[in-house]
A and B are shown apart, each in its own frame.
Chain A
Amino acid sequence: MKYLYVGATAETDREALTAIGSFLSAQFQLPLREMDLPSVDFAFDARRNQYGSIAVLELTSRLCPDDAIKLVAVTERDLFIPVLTFVFGHAQLGGRAAVISLARLRQEFYGLEPNRPILLDRACKEALHEAGHTFGLVHCADHGCAMSLSTRVQQIDQKRAAFCLACSRRLVRGVIT
């Protein structure tokens, strides 16, 4: 039997991990397993005060269990790729591993009061988005679709926690194999 795995580093909000796991399991209708992931401190870049998401994604990929269809890693660390100032998440397009960061999904990152429902809503959408990439989906032009590109949290808030009809069809037609 194959499972959808969600994994978290030690510092990560466990309630968020559980919410993400349940949500993804229901969305993809796959049995769920949780796992612990080691620290990602090795990916720390002192110059940028951020964590390299390529290295974190490589680690996630290496740790992906044999019985995993996909592994979505969750971390509190702020992630980046060299050419960009940050990323909310990162995935292997058509691969098995994805990682999301909760750092910029929190209201407090923008100097606002913490808000748990907003954090969990954003985390689930971002996890669904990155998981969608691992199933081969690319960005969608429908701004309401979970696969639409978000470069600001406001865009995450505006989209639905679900795929649009076209992306759902693509997923059903050939992506899950």
Chain B
Amino acid sequence: MKTHWRILVVDDEAVMCESLAAWLREDGYAVDTASSGHQAVEMARTTDYAIYFVDLKMPGGMDGIETMMQIRRLRPDASIIIITAYATVDTAITAMKEGAQEYIVKPCNPEEISLLVSRIIKVKNLQRENTILRMKLTRQYHFRDVISKSACMRAILDLAAEVASLPSTVLILGDSGTGKELIARAIHYSGQRAAKPFVAVSCAALAETLLESELFGYEKGAFTGADHQKRGKFELADGGTIFLDEIGDISPKLQVDLLRVLQDRTFYRLGGTEEVRVDARVIAATHVDLRQAIADGKFREDLFYRLNVIEIRIPPLRERREDIPLLAQHFVERFAHELGKEISELSEGALKMLMDYNWPGNVRELENAIERAMVTCRGHSLTEEHFAFLAQNGAHAKGLTIPAGMSIQEMEKLLIVSTLQAVDGNIKEAAARLGIDRSTLYEKIKKYEIPR
């Protein structure tokens, strides 16, 4: 996976520049060249090079040290190697003091350069692994971690960044798998509450009484088995953010309780008489059309307006297809790392398949599809054959007969039944094909009373 790391060689002597670049390319790295310090700085603005080889003596008012200093301002993590034919102790000291990782004298032994580059790349691989593991451990995400180039998503991210520092309640709307929790986490970790807890609760995953005790906690003896006092998620999120996912699925009683918390910032633990005061910012999310739910009498209008202070609507993936290549490449790189596979690219045919597919399960379905394809891939790039299951998914969907007048709920039930049949009742596989979490699938199976 060397090609993931780009190298820039900067030297005013074309032959020097090209020969080193060619030598590094033979080693499998993606290498660009720049003939001046100015050009190198411009290239560093647009491309994140892992290593820069910079010649010390260059004309044009910007020598190697100045070039290195400007690059370091733009790319503090870059490794810069100063190369020179005229080594002096003074220049070596200056270069190292200004942040050069190494200082080498040309001509140098091939082994020296080879070991130097592989040592730097090894450290960079470890740093990247460390970052990924730390992010996984704390599940902290920022807006820069949201991968998108679509104008509508950029507008959403701008809005989310603006509201991050406000205490206002946020309602995130979007289909399953669009990344509602990712946006909620980004809002939390970009605001003033970042150092405090982010507590996520899936309202659809729990029965009414369980959800109530989860959210508000309980006192000892509140119910059979309550042998000690337990603090609820609202208390755990004190000072931070509570993320209420699938808010559209909560019961009328809980809607009332929640309304009271939002209005008064106080609640009672189950079985408790003491009022508990919390300062938790509420971010709610749902895939349900809440306005329709209000019209149907299933959701309280007053709660909706309490939640809907700032509304963020995330479009489904099919409405921002320009993000598919970017996301697909991101997942390829991530899974290559996680699965320890040397897969670095998608063929044109595979990418076309991904672009043409409808992605009912959105980004999560794309993520699952890439992981599934990479598990079966034996080569270095993912091709159409690795995504053959997408065509099957499409075929299954086409095979469904949807009579006019069928409700969306009935259609959803039909799709779930058909998918479960296609995978012989395998929940994990069915959830992957549908592009939803296993817990969401279990909920829907329960909701539609689908026999298993």
Residues of A within 8 A of B (CB): 48, 54, 80-87, 91, 93, 133, 138-139, 149, 151-152, 169-170, 173
Contacts and interface: CB of A to CB of B under 8 A. Distances in A.
A46 to B, nearest CB: 15
Nearest to B380: A170
Contacts of A54: 15, 18-19
Contact of B16 (A83, A86, A133): A83
Contacts of B22: 81, 93
B305 interface: no
B61 interface: no
Interface of B: 2, 13, 15-16, 18-20, 22-23, 25-28, 83, 106-111, 113-114, 379-380
Contacts, number: 63
A138 B15 contact: no
A151 B112 CA distance: 9
A87 B19 CA distance: 11
Contact of B25 (A86, A138, A170): A138
Contacts of A86: 110
B106 A82 contact: yes
A82 B16 contact: yes
B23 A84 contact: yes
A87 B26 CA distance: 13
20 contacts: A54-B19, A81-B20, A81-B22, A82-B15, A82-B16, A82-B106, A83-B23, A83-B113, A84-B23, A84-B109, A85-B109, A85-B110, A86-B110, A93-B22, A93-B26, A133-B26, A139-B28, A149-B27, A151-B109, A151-B110
A13 B114 CA distance: 30
Nearest to A173: B379
B19 A85 contact: no
A71 B270 CA distance: 84
A87 B110 contact: yes
Given A87-B110, A151-B111, A151-B114, A82 B28 contact: no
Contact of A82 (B19, B25, B114, B379): B19
A91 B83 contact: no
A177 to B, nearest CB: 16
B395 to A, nearest CB: 29
A18 to B, nearest CB: 27
A133 B113 CA distance: 19
B27 A81 contact: no
A87 B114 CA distance: 13
A84 B113 CA distance: 9
A105 to B, nearest CB: 15
A79 B113 CA distance: 17
Contacts of B18: 54
B26 A83 contact: no
Given A151-B114, A173-B379, A84 B26 contact: no
Contacts of A82: 13, 15-16, 19, 106-107
Contacts of B109: 84-85, 151
Contacts of B16: 82-83
Contact of B27 (A139, A152, A169, A170): A139
Point out which of B20, B26, B379 has the most chain A C-beta atoms below 10 A from its C-beta.
Answer: B26
Given A83-B107, A85-B107, A139 B19 contact: no
B83 A83 contact: yes
A151 B106 CA distance: 16
B110 A84 contact: yes
**Across the A-B interface, the 5 shortest Cβ-Cβ residue pairs:** A151-B111, A138-B28, A81-B19, A151-B110, A83-B20
A88 to B, nearest CB: 9
Contacts of B83: 83
Nearest to A138: B28
Contacts of A149: 26-27, 114
Contacts of A84: 19, 23, 106-110, 113
From A85, A170, A173, residue with most partner B Cβ within 10 Å = A85
Given A139-B27, A151-B111, 17 more contacts: A48-B107, A54-B18, A80-B107, A81-B19, A82-B15, A82-B16, A83-B20, A83-B83, A83-B106, A84-B23, A85-B108, A85-B110, A86-B110, A87-B110, A149-B26, A149-B114, A151-B114
